Amino acid sequence: MSAALALGDDALVLSHRLGQWAGHAPVLEEEVALANIALDLLGQARVLLSLAGDEDELAFLREERAFRNVQLVEQPNGDFAHTIARQLYFSAYQLPLYRELAAGDGPFAPLAAKAAQEVDYHLDHARQWTLRLGDGTQESHARMQRACDALWRYTGELFRPVEGLGVDPSALEQGWLRSVGEVLERATLTLPDGPRSGGWAAGAGREGLHTESFGRMLAEMQHLHRSHPGASW
């Protein structure tokens, strides 16, 4: 079930990153909102990983090279603008993907139907903040533009084929570009124009090649579970 791992790892890893915001968010409402998105994604991850095996074994006992998430979701939180840009790029991909999956009759359809409603909210949240940061102050505009530019190179990977998925992600690419382009324009931001894939470093997460910070993230996430082999929690 490599497709279940791909989608499950995307959700698991992004949830973990969002969970790192707890206690650090810029405003109390965002403590609630970011945790909410993290919880939705964790719920999705648990269903998806359970399709592929034991959720805890998969989350806590695999080595870095066995994770199949895209590199975009493992990128560190950075400032709030980076977190929002990462969420905008990812949710704008995940929503149409889940809708396609929900419309089919494959193994992901039931989860995708429920999760699409959650992701609809995640995308709205990211759009609303993209507008506010892009069209807010000079500083927020500059930070948001930097974040959009910095994460752009990780977006090409989203549209690579995933074995066993039943949907061709490349068919979603033009819609994604329109969707992201439209919100960036309204936010007075410029759609980045650098390469979106190509170098192995930006776009091989599905093959188990990740970025350096991912190993440290996993070390922290897995440490306690691995320290007590066979224990129940």
Partner 1 sequence: MTALAGGAAGGTASAGAGAPGTAGAAGQAPDARTAAFDAAVAAEERIEPRDWMPDAYRATLVRQMAQHAHSEIIGMQPEANWITRAPSLRRKAILMAKVQDEAGHGLYLYSAAETLGTGRDELLDKLHAGRQKYSSIFNYPTLTWADVGAIGWLVDGAAITNQVPLCRCSYGPYARAMVRICKEESFHQRQGFELLMALSKGTPEQHAMAQDAVDRWWWPSLMMFGPPDDESAHSAQSMAWKIKRFSNDELRRRFVDICVPQAEALGLTLPDPDLRWNPDKGENGGHEHGPIDWAEFQAVLKGNGPCNEQRIAQRRAAHEEGAWVRDAAAAYAAKHAAGEHGKAEAA
Residues that bind partner 1 (CB under 8 A): 12, 16, 19-20, 22-32, 35-36, 38-39, 42-43, 45-46, 49, 55-56, 59-60, 79-80, 131-133, 135-141, 143, 188, 220-221, 223-225, 228, 230-233
In the complex, the smallest distance separating the C-beta of residue 47 from partner 1, rounded to whole angstroms, is 11
In the complex, the smallest distance separating the C-beta of residue 40 from partner 1, rounded to whole angstroms, is 10
**Nearer Cβ to partner 1, position 13 or 172?**
13
In the complex, the smallest distance separating the C-beta of residue 160 from partner 1, rounded to whole angstroms, is 26
**Nearer Cβ to partner 1, position 130 or 179?**
130
**Nearer Cβ to partner 1, position 54 or 168?**
54
In the complex, the smallest distance separating the C-beta of residue 157 from partner 1, rounded to whole angstroms, is 24
Say if residues 200 and 36 touch (Cβ distance below 8 Å).
no
